[in-house]
Structure 1
């Protein structure tokens, strides 16, 4: 597991967090002849569900394997703050767990509303829609009208015929979007939501199943998407990812007109 210096830093960090906890804070009796105020190694090992020998090796900076599940258990039993938990995973050279989102739904909605008349939306870590403005709803249809489990960008693109008809060059745009998704959620491959979405999309779309098996990955690089809108006609947008918010996997996108014709039609899109 990593270099010797990183293993030593991990061991020292764990020891410092263990030393600051009292038995009473974790529901254990203090017991007689306790020479230090912190938890003993065997107490923390018992709480975290690991062997005393293995945990002792960890604090001795030995080169042993540490799973994400054990790191999460240690973080929980050591009462680590969110920042400390992120630091623990970083020292163990594991992808950091998602931070809990701090932006309220009202704040997110206010942000995308302020971007009107440009279509804008926020996706969560699984590409479920979290917020969207009137222009986005007018462009692709209101996600609020869909069941909660189907308010997902990949589901819309691959499983909703209306979106397939809306996108000019649907095969090219859909396959590129899938490659971006695969790259973005690689470290969440075992997540039940991610696995369930892939399973249902395989059943719903033959193209999804074929392209998913190809294992293509692609970065988000300011993509251009062209729509043949039933009311506004052809619209071309350059998609810009403005930020990743709260380190929770949320992503804010806005769609900027790619030509003067599209810019002229924006106001009428939500009329």
Structure 2
């Protein structure tokens, strides 16, 4: 049996298993006169708004590869959890689904403890629209105290384009700002957050001529790779950081950003101005 046939049969078995675990009555379907447990194939197709024939073929290991849109509809129809949905995409397309934007107001205590354990290395967690939802003490003293800002203003682009401290800290502010804006455009589009960012973009275009001009250029930026960022701190002077971005298991809508001090001197300088008592983030 070919690899393609194996994949199709595995996908078919997974779909049948998930379908047969569902209670018809919970979805408004009659549970009477059924030979097997779960929803019927045509009921799943109805909930997914796809052809019953096409869905039947999928459960029979026939037909071509389903599209991401079809898989997403089936995932909703079968009430799959995030991890089950990811497994469905891996079986159907050989890759995980793209990150889906969802408004987020915070992180779990576990993730916050991870950030705190990195001190004196500045670290934060941002959404696909670059809202900062968690940070540690080092990022507060080295970058910006997001805890002192209203929640709706805790955004990296807002800081870069509207806060004069950002320009003072960067050796080449325009290059940094242009790259950040291009990466933001890619991240928000990949997450399907186009409509969500429209008011934010309109506001920044109104308040920042630089943002408006760069946004009109339609530039995009890929992952920065292994780079060293240089900033000027108002108290301890020039510093260098190895910049890294990490995805978070189970939360494809979030990224952890780490500014690792490039030298022992940089690390010691940061530690020298950090408060002794751990602050609680609001």
Q: Which residue of 2 aligns with 1:15?
A: 16
Matched, 1:258 2:259: no
Q: 1:44 to 1:155 in 2, by over 3 A?
A: same
Which among 86, 108, 123 is matched to residue 120 of structure 1?
A: 123
Matches within 5 A, 1:127-206: 127-206=130-209
Q: 1:49 to 1:236 in 2, by over 3 A?
A: same
In the TM superposition, residue 10 of structure 1 has moved relative to its aligned partner by: 4.0
Task: Say whether the 8 Å CA contact 1:232–1:268 is kept in structure 2.
Answer: no
In the TM superposition, residue 17 of structure 1 has moved relative to its aligned partner by: 2.5
List alignment gaps of at least 5 residues for structure 1: none
- Partner of 2:257: helix, strand, or coil? strand
In the TM superposition, residue 18 of structure 1 has moved relative to its aligned partner by: 2.2
Deviations 1:90-137 (CA, angstroms, capped at 9, x unpaired): 344375154899x95322222222222222222233322122122211
In the TM superposition, residue 151 of structure 1 has moved relative to its aligned partner by: 0.8
Task: Say whether the 8 Å CA contact 2:230–2:241 is kept in structure 1.
Answer: yes
List alignment gaps of at least 5 residues for structure 2: 276-282
In the TM superposition, residue 146 of structure 1 has moved relative to its aligned partner by: 1.8
Q: 1:40 to 1:204 in 2, by over 3 A?
A: same
Matches within 5 A, 1:232-247: 232-241=236-245, 243-247=246-250
Counterparts of 2:264 and 2:18, CA distance in 1: 59
Task: Say whether the 8 Å CA contact 2:99–2:191 is kept in structure 1.
Answer: no
Task: Say whether the 8 Å CA contact 1:10–1:92 is kept in structure 2.
Answer: yes
Runs of 4+ in 1 over 6 A off after TM superposition: none
- Partner of 1:149: helix, strand, or coil? helix
Matched, 1:90 2:90: yes
In the TM superposition, residue 168 of structure 1 has moved relative to its aligned partner by: 1.8
Task: Say whether the 8 Å CA contact 2:66–2:92 is kept in structure 1.
Answer: no
In the TM superposition, residue 260 of structure 1 has moved relative to its aligned partner by: 5.4
Q: What TM-score, normalized by structure 2, do the two folds share?
A: 0.76
Q: Which residue of 2 aligns with 1:24?
A: 25
Which among 226, 235, 259 is matched to residue 230 of structure 2?
A: 226
Task: Say whether the 8 Å CA contact 1:201–1:208 is kept in structure 2.
Answer: yes
**Count of residues in correspondence between the two structures:** 265
Counterparts of 2:120 and 2:153, CA distance in 1: 25
Counterparts of 2:47 and 2:134, CA distance in 1: 40
Matched, 1:52 2:52: yes
- Partner of 1:14: helix, strand, or coil? helix
Counterparts of 2:53 and 2:204, CA distance in 1: 45
RMSD: 3.3
Task: Say whether the 8 Å CA contact 1:188–1:194 is kept in structure 2.
Answer: no
Q: 1:223 to 1:149 in 2, by over 3 A?
A: farther
In the TM superposition, residue 164 of structure 1 has moved relative to its aligned partner by: 1.9
Counterparts of 1:88 and 1:229, CA distance in 2: 48
Matches within 5 A, 1:98-109: 98=99, 104-109=107-112
Q: 1:162 to 1:218 in 2, by over 3 A?
A: same
